Structure 1
Amino acid sequence: MKEVKSSDANKTPRRISRVNSTSFDYSLDFKKINFRERPELYRIGRGEQGVLLVEPYKSEILPYWRFADVEKATISSEKIWTLFEAYLNTEDFVGADMARKFLQMGFTRARRYANHKGGKKYDGAVPEDKKGLSGAHGRDELPRQPEDPVKAAAAAIFKKKWDEAKVHPKYLQQKEQFLALIKNQEQA
């Protein structure tokens, strides 16, 4: 794990989440935090949590994220995989974890479009008091359509890369080191 140095350009106050070390902390001011400079503020969370919030990684990975068809999914997953490996090679666990999340999101979104034409899973608007939360929140789930084979094939491409990322030896080693760092930080 690299040593973290503070930057005058990023004067975000040091705030350690007392939530458990794997819970994603949505209370942070994501518009002001550069997680490459402040990796100690990052939390892995569950699944894809934070994938569209954590900078500069979102901006580095999102332009390559495409899943409309097999060709786009192949090019996209290979580019994201290349970024994943590059982050690992520079011991940038946060970047590697974000790349893993984009691979996962490629799979889940392509599967959603495979099952629901237009990707719309729920009927109706989100109630005002439930905006920003995931899940149906009282809305009715739309019936599945006949599976779109193009989107299903695109999902399979992302699933293969995501499965590889989750068990990559360098990823697992750096994840263990990162979690130990966070645990030590929370105990301090």
Structure 2
Amino acid sequence: MSDDPEYDVDFRESPEEYEIGRGEQGVFKIQPYKDELLPLWSIENLEGAEEAAADVYRKFEEYKRADEFPGMDLARKYLQMGWTRSLRYAKYPGGQKYEVDEDGNRVEREPQQWYDEEKFEIAQVYREYLDRVKEDETYQRRKREWQNRE
């Protein structure tokens, strides 16, 4: 994959170019999946997040039926991002994990269990769908195959 801010690849047309990457890497760059998933994603409030997580999971199922592993993996990344981002907001005021001390050094804030209860509930919604994807036998098999490609 390119180091450029945006990849100049349509990963549906050229799926062989897709690399799984770490964590949520590529979530805002892998096209056309980004344009299909990002509008669905939300952690603003619990009701919206429940709908968003279900919608992203439905896209995962669509990609699975179409045997589009890059789409499946990107849907997993959006669910993971919903979980991690909402958990950060649940623990830290404004979602800010770091602050600058009086000497200008960046220091990690102490997490507050649970600063924002609704964001904690949102994290649980996304985690439930994320676990379903990670436990999906087709996803597991396709991920192993993708990682073992030559």
Q: State TM-score, norm by structure 1.
A: 0.72
Alignment of 1:52-91 (within 5 A): 52-91=28-67
Alpha-carbon separation, structure 1, partners of 2:67 and 2:13: 13
Shift of 1:31: 4.0
- 1:39 and 2:12 are equivalent in the alignment: no
Equivalent residue letter for 2:123: A
Shift of 1:65: 0.5
Alpha-carbon separation, structure 1, partners of 2:26 and 2:41: 15
Shift of 1:175: 1.6
- Partner in structure 1 of residue 134 of structure 2: 166
Q: Secondary structure at the match of 1:49?
A: coil
Structure 1 stretches of at least 4 aligned residues deviating more than 4 Å after TM superposition: none
Shift in CA distance, 149/26, structure 1 to aligned 2, threshold 3 Å: farther
Q: State TM-score, norm by structure 2.
A: 0.89
Shift in CA distance, 94/84, structure 1 to aligned 2, threshold 3 Å: same
Q: Which residue of the other structure, out of 66, 72, 79, is the alignment partner of 1:103?
A: 79
Shift of 1:149: 0.8
Contact 1:77–1:157 (CA<8 Å) still a contact in 2?
yes
Q: Which residue of the other structure, out of 111, 114, 120, is the alignment partner of 1:144?
A: 111
Alpha-carbon separation, structure 2, partners of 1:29 and 1:144: 32
Alpha-carbon separation, structure 1, partners of 2:113 and 2:23: 26
| CA-to-aligned-CA distance 1:128-187 (integer Å, 9 cap, x gap) | xxxxxxxxxx7211232351111000000000100110110111122223223xx32xxx
Contact 1:69–1:153 (CA<8 Å) still a contact in 2?
no
Structure 1, unaligned runs of 5 or more = 1-24, 125-137
Instruction: Report how many aligned residue pairs link the two structures.
Output: 145
Identity %: 38
Alpha-carbon separation, structure 2, partners of 1:91 and 1:31: 22
Larger Rg: 1
Name the Cα RMSD after superposition.
1.7
Alpha-carbon separation, structure 1, partners of 2:97 and 2:2: 24
Contact 1:67–1:73 (CA<8 Å) still a contact in 2?
yes
- 1:156 and 2:124 are equivalent in the alignment: yes
